[in-house]
Structure 1
Amino acid sequence: MILTHSVKVCLATQPCDLRKSFDTLSVVVRNELREDPLSRKVFVFLNRQGDRVKMLYWDGSGLWILMKRLERGRFFRPRPTADGEVKLALKPEALEMLLSGIDLKDGMQRAWYELPEK
């Protein structure tokens, strides 16, 4: 799967049980995010602890699930801009930053991602 800069990204603002798979994540996308899971958007979910992320994506022929578990540290969970907001639209660059350990609010890299000096 190749994510280009034209891909739309939808981040769920509430923690998600990441034991869910294709069908149950699709139900979350439909019922909670009010989106179509086959819309070619990348749907991003974080668990309550913030140490795991799971993404659901339809490429036109099937659904992809990508998951990452951090061995140390946490992903920064962006806060909704309004009460009751269940999703945030992110640019693909912002998703890359989030997955790289960058706090989107402050633009700071988290300690778990810092590379050792040579």
Structure 2
Amino acid sequence: MIVAAQAVRVVIALKPVDFRKGHDGLAALAEHELGLDPHSGVIVVFRCRRGDRLKLLVWDGSGLVLAYKRLEQGRFAWPAVREGVMRLSRAQFEALFEGLDWRRMRAQRVRRPAAAE
């Protein structure tokens, strides 16, 4: 499993992409069509038309990493198809990558304890 650091941004490209694209094609798409810097460390999740595959593109500091996952049964839970991107929390990203319905994941903000102030 690909595990994102807590501070890493994760975004989903909301429109399906041509899965024949590789590192350079997806990086160009992220930069020119989505307005993202693919070399900033952001994890960009791309989806196929059928919904059973995803590709992750991330810069690790020394090169672009492209990960591909295909579910053997079922489909990933995707947001509605439209232009742009949508940000995911770490928990939502991990659920999506596992093939779970990430839309049920809700982040809870924890306030700093009064004793720590």
Scaled by the length of structure 1, what TM-score is found? 0.80
Map 1:78-97; keep pairs closer than 5 Å.
78-79=79-80, 85-97=83-95
How far apart, CA to CA, are the structure 2 residues paired with 1:36 and 1:70? 28
CA drift of 1:93 comes to 1.3
**Alignment length (residue pairs):** 104
How far apart, CA to CA, are the structure 2 residues paired with 1:27 and 1:68? 21
- Name the % identity: 40
Contact 2:44 2:57 in 1 (8 A): yes
Find the structure with the greater CA-based Rg: 2
CA drift of 1:78 comes to 1.7
Unaligned runs of 5+ in 2: 106-117
CA drift of 1:106 comes to 4.3
Q: Against the structure 1 CA distance between its residues 17 and 69, is the aligned structure 2 distance closer, same or farther, given a 3 Å change threshold?
A: same
Does 2:29 match 1:21? no
CA drift of 1:36 comes to 0.6
Quote the residue 2:71 is aligned against: 70
Does 2:25 match 1:46? no
Q: Deviating runs (4+, > 2 A) in structure 1?
A: 104-107
RMSD: 1.7
Scaled by the length of structure 2, what TM-score is found? 0.81
Contact 1:39 1:58 in 2 (8 A): yes
